[in-house]
Amino acid sequence: MTDAIRARIRDIPDFPKKGINFKDITPLLADGPLFRSAIEGMLQPWRGEQIHKVVGIESRGFVFAAPMALAMGAGLILVRKPGKLPWKTVREEYALEYGSDTLELHEDALTGGERTLIVDDVLATGGTAAAVGRLVKRLGGDLVGYSFLSELTFLQGAQKLGDVQKHALLQY
């Protein structure tokens, strides 16, 4: 299964800038049976974990978080760039290689103790996912773990995510 999924993710050299080898997931998303297999593979480690909320990271994380939340009977929380959410928000700034960025989620998105899973398409340097983990904890969520379609292991992003369970269906 993972070989077929990997084969439907195409490499785009020098996108969005020179030196980056972008992993284009759109061919995978267009293949219904393989997209379903990818979701099932991302869900597998979390079966039986009684997840209450699934947090999707803007924007490609939404594509995976929504069907995962539905399959688990969990609520879906969207983490967005500043100014994109309509209600009162909490924000987390995090460092990038050159500069910083900010993410927000609604201040009432979680209640204390809700078992929460963070989902995104790729784990790269770990900065974005770690920032979302801090937001979840700040709102009182019980961070169970992180689920990714793929991980760029050479960037060692998993080290920034602490001592919670992490799962990536594919590793590069």
Active site amino acids: 60, 97
Q: Are strands 99-106 and 21-24 parallel, antiparallel or unpaired?
A: unpaired
Instruction: Name which of 57, 44, 39, 38 is nearest 130 in CA terms.
Output: 57
Instruction: Give the E-state strand segments of 15-164 in sequence order.
Output: 21-24, 53-57, 75-79, 89-96, 99-106, 115-123, 142-151
